Structure 1
Amino acid sequence: MRDLLARAAELAAEHRTGLGDRPVARPVDLAALRAGFGQLRDEPTPPATVLEELARAAEPGLVATAGPRFFGFVIGGALPAATAADVLAAGWDQNAFNAVLSPAAAAAEETAGSWLKELLGLPATASAGFVTGGQAANTVGLAAARHHVLAEAGWDVERDGLAGAPRVRVVASEERHATIDRALRLLGFGTRAVVPVRAKPDGAIDVDDLAAKVDGPTIVCLQAGNVNTGACDDFRAARAAAKNAWIHVDGAFGLWAAANPATRALLDGVELADSWACDGHKWLNVPYDSGFVFCSRPEVHAETIAYRAAYLTGAGEVSGMGDLTLESSRRARGFAVWAALRELGRDGVAELVDRCCRLARRFARILAEGGAEIANDVVLNQVLVSFGDDARTDAIAAAVQRDGTCWLGGTTWRGRRYLRISVSNWTTTEADVDRSAAAILRLAGQ
């Protein structure tokens, strides 16, 4: 086992240390890639052989998403300490359902959860569940919202379901993320429950229109960091407009702005919400899969999610583990999160967020000077870039992906197509931005 894990670490380190020099993505023959993984054998294979076969089979299909010039999907690359901690977590093989199964996993999550709340400007008394990502966090947060607003109306949704329940209005921006709609489908509301609210030109919610839409049992969905522009909603004004509604904040990446003094004002009043969703594998740069859901009412969070079974030892106390997440048997995500926060500290997290924002502005400036149109005010780490008509912009995006210098995708914003650049990686430097912008302009010129 010692030699096997040492070799796995060696292979992983070789990959990670070479990310800055390799093409971010390469054309892949998917049929050949699948064939490289072979057929199921009758006889057993020694673990060391399996490891080498896996490394060879996977290599042609690996994308440098953890590298410094991947600017798609608002994702980072795992920090050194977080990567090493995840290796330990795999080796320790802990089931993080509750403190009986793993006291160490419980303590790590409780500690990291308190640090996260401090950095994100959330109430210290809020619950913290370690989930798989933004989708799970939004689903759990909206499930807690469903429980609360229906209980306030005298309905036990966990016992009686939604059939015959008072109608719940889900008020959300027309610029909401798709995970909100999926969560509503999974929770039985259906997407027709959404009462859409106008968005302002920057993508933030129109609070005046929001105020007119709140009526009866209502869940309001707000956003910290529009996925295209980075714009944040006016949380303080929304709280005043939403009266007694439950407010859920989708802060997959934008909630991290609270950790940086230079961007903290964008989240003024976010602590007044009732639940919050955030990702760790985005701006915190921890390994996949890592997300967080916080709730201002821990008892509502637990009543919504927890279950009890006679064979479960240690059940009965609300914890940040199985009672607050949808999974029972799950890996110990808290170790990597604790390690990342320990490595960075308050100052390091602030610097990481601030640097990515500065690099995004640098990206926008260089591309604008090269003749591109920048569609958004770069308030966080998101940049929207157009090179004229939609077809040309899409063609440039495809050319950039084939070129391999960097990777970015396309998006639709206000009916037009744009390149969408997200700067989220802890290893990205000014030189990476300059090299990537030069490649984009070179390809646009062709």
Structure 2
Amino acid sequence: MEDLRRLFRLAADHAAGYRESLPDRPVGVSIDQGALAEAFTGPLPSAPCPPEQVLADLLAVAEPGLVASAGPRYFGFVVGGALPAATAADILAAGWDQLATNAVTSPAAIAAEAAAGVWLKELLGIPASASVGFVTGAQAANTAGLAAARHHVLADAGWDVERRGLLGAPPIRVIAGAERHATIDRSLRLLGLGTDLVEPVPAGPNGAIGLGALREVLRGGPSGPTIVCLQAGNVNTGACDPLREACELVRRHGGWVHVDGAFGLWAAASPATRHLVDGLELADSWACDGHKWLNIPYDSGFAFCARPDVHAAAMSFAASYLVGSGGVPAGGDFTAESSRRARGFAVWAGLRELGRDGVTALVDRCCALARRFAAGLTAAGFEVANEVVLNQVLVGFGDDARTDRVVAAVQADGTCWAGGTTWRGRRLMRISVSNATTTEEDVDRSIAAIVRLAT
């Protein structure tokens, strides 16, 4: 046990040192991927290796390829950092090594998920009676929500999709915004629905769907099982669909509403931005990430469903050797994994660290810093292409080729990291402010670097 303690201390000390270095270290990495792969590659040794040596070897080969994405000047891909308490809880979760299938395999893991789920629903304005599945991220959450939708709309049509599959099933209409996230399409592929059946709804100037366009699409197709995918937080602009009016419209047509709110759903946690997601409680299922704006370590996401029985019917399974939790769905019943790590500990710890006011402050601060980015780059003479409503900023530097050069130069420079995107046929820099440790100084330093490199 003394050897184990020493090993764990070494790992924790290195992890803490790495996190302490993030404000000052270059954000990107310039190492050649082939060289990095070669450093990891080699024949599997025939003899065992002492754990401390394995750890030392891992540190030596991995360190040059680590991206400072948990740091305060990483603005790519809507990536958050990791709160101290949530990170420490995740370290404990790895040490405890709990099987979070149900309350038999780990009572503590399921209790943590239940408590954290209550807090999440309160913060996001989701009905208290909704179920929560702790999944790997918004991809898994969208898949779970759309699986529940598929189950429900086909059951209403008299078809048991879990037993009979899709062959011969009544056709399902899937309606989604033209600027939906790609994970919606992948979920439809995984669920056997395919992407050809998507009826796109045109988006307005900032990327949110238009109600008139949604009304026309709903009217223009056949009646029958219908799923409508709405969005809270356009991945490029941060725009949110008009959820209240859209949900009411879809409800009149008897459809199921799924909301992809990977990061934008957190607008509900602040009085300053809550109006952007007004009416979200009227939906039937919701997807949200923990490792984005909430700053929970990877991998953490949440699948909510207004009908827990439908959620469990779509996702759970039974086997003779499994001992359940007294007939009450929990844990793996709401996810696609039965052997699952105990993600609830880190979520519980992160929410406990922040509290309600801390979550609100986190959302407000990131939005304010995004506006600071937009103001600074506009003042420098560059174009901000979107209305900055949340934490997303799109910047153009002239023609597409020049914009791509600026993005590449910023990534190589190391002061900060921002990605490129294509929106409305244009190449743009996409800046996402999601890290709890980002300060005004970080933004100003990043703006100065972008301006220097662009000019």
Show the 5 A alignment for 1:356-395. Answer: 356-395=366-405
Instruction: Give the partner amino acid of 1:256.
Output: W
Cα distance, 1:319 vs structure 2: 2.9
Q: Give yes or no for the alignment of 1:116 onto 2:120.
A: yes
Secondary structure class of the residue paired with 2:331:
coil
Identity within the alignment, %:
70
Deviations 1:9-59 (A, max 9, x none): 001011100011110012112222122224211110000111111011100
Q: Give yes or no for the alignment of 1:30 onto 2:27.
A: no
The answer for the alignment partner of 2:244 in structure 1 is: 236
Deviations 1:315-361 (A, max 9, x none): 56233311000001010000000000000000000000000000000
Provide the rounded CA distance (Å) in 1 between the counterparts of 2:238 and 2:327: 38
Q: Give yes or no for the alignment of 1:411 onto 2:421.
A: yes
Q: Give yes or no for the alignment of 1:66 onto 2:74.
A: no
Q: Give yes or no for the alignment of 1:279 onto 2:283.
A: no
Cα distance, 1:254 vs structure 2: 0.3
Deviations 1:181-238 (A, max 9, x none): 0000111111011011111111001111112222321000000000000000101110
On the 8 A contact 1:302/1:318 being kept in 2, the answer is: no
Secondary structure class of the residue paired with 1:222:
strand
Show the 5 A alignment for 1:192-271. Answer: 192-214=196-218, 215-242=223-250, 243=252, 244-271=254-281
The answer for the alignment partner of 2:363 in structure 1 is: 353
On the 8 A contact 2:103/2:325 being kept in 1, the answer is: no
The answer for the alignment partner of 1:85 in structure 2 is: 89
On the 8 A contact 1:67/1:425 being kept in 2, the answer is: yes
Q: Give yes or no for the alignment of 1:144 onto 2:123.
A: no
On the 8 A contact 1:308/1:315 being kept in 2, the answer is: no
Instruction: Give the partner amino acid of 2:31.
Output: V
Instruction: Give the partner amino acid of 2:320.
Output: A
Q: Give yes or no for the alignment of 1:132 onto 2:142.
A: no
The answer for the alignment partner of 2:184 in structure 1 is: 180
Deviations 1:411-441 (A, max 9, x none): 1111111000000000100000000011001
Secondary structure class of the residue paired with 2:332:
coil
Secondary structure class of the residue paired with 1:302:
helix
Secondary structure class of the residue paired with 2:92:
helix
Instruction: Give the partner amino acid of 2:232.
Output: A
Show the 5 A alignment for 1:308-319. Answer: 308-314=318-324, 317-319=327-329
Secondary structure class of the residue paired with 2:334:
coil
Aligned length: 445
Cα distance, 1:251 vs structure 2: 0.2
Secondary structure class of the residue paired with 2:144:
helix
Provide the rounded CA distance (Å) in 2 between the counterparts of 1:320 and 1:284: 23
Provide the rounded CA distance (Å) in 2 between the counterparts of 1:147 and 1:396: 47
Cα distance, 1:288 vs structure 2: 0.5
Cα distance, 1:283 vs structure 2: 0.4
The answer for the alignment partner of 2:52 in structure 1 is: 48
Deviations 1:244-271 (A, max 9, x none): 2100000000000100111011110000
Cα distance, 1:274 vs structure 2: 0.1
Provide the rounded CA distance (Å) in 2 between the counterparts of 1:350 and 1:320: 28
Deviations 1:346-384 (A, max 9, x none): 000000000000000000000000011001111100000
Secondary structure class of the residue paired with 2:163:
helix
Secondary structure class of the residue paired with 1:322:
helix
Provide the rounded CA distance (Å) in 2 between the counterparts of 1:405 and 1:250: 32
On the 8 A contact 1:224/1:232 being kept in 2, the answer is: yes
Evaluate the alpha carbon distance shift between residue 166 and residue 38 of structure 1 in structure 2; reply closer, same or farther with a 3 A threshold.
Answer: closer
Q: Give yes or no for the alignment of 1:170 onto 2:180.
A: no
Provide the rounded CA distance (Å) in 1 between the counterparts of 2:156 and 2:280: 23
Secondary structure class of the residue paired with 1:376:
coil
Given candidates 415, 419, 442, the residue that maps to 1:432 is 442
Provide the rounded CA distance (Å) in 2 between the counterparts of 1:26 and 1:131: 29
The answer for the alignment partner of 2:161 in structure 1 is: 157
Provide the rounded CA distance (Å) in 2 between the counterparts of 1:106 and 1:194: 36
Given candidates 304, 317, 320, the residue that maps to 2:314 is 304
More displaced 10-residue stretch of structure 1: 173-182 or 206-215: 206-215
Provide the rounded CA distance (Å) in 2 between the counterparts of 1:159 and 1:312: 20
Provide the rounded CA distance (Å) in 1 between the counterparts of 2:193 and 2:55: 45
When the two chains are superposed, the root-mean-square deviation of aligned CA atoms in Å is: 0.8
More displaced 10-residue stretch of structure 1: 185-194 or 273-282: 185-194
On the 8 A contact 1:130/1:320 being kept in 2, the answer is: no
Instruction: Give the partner amino acid of 1:8.
Output: A
Structure 1: stretches of 5+ with no match in the other structure: none
Instruction: Give the partner amino acid of 1:218.
Output: T
More displaced 10-residue stretch of structure 1: 87-96 or 199-208: 199-208
Instruction: Give the partner amino acid of 2:234.
Output: N
Q: Give yes or no for the alignment of 1:94 onto 2:98.
A: yes
Cα distance, 1:174 vs structure 2: 0.3
On the 8 A contact 2:40/2:61 being kept in 1, the answer is: yes
Cα distance, 1:241 vs structure 2: 1.6
Structure 2: stretches of 5+ with no match in the other structure: none
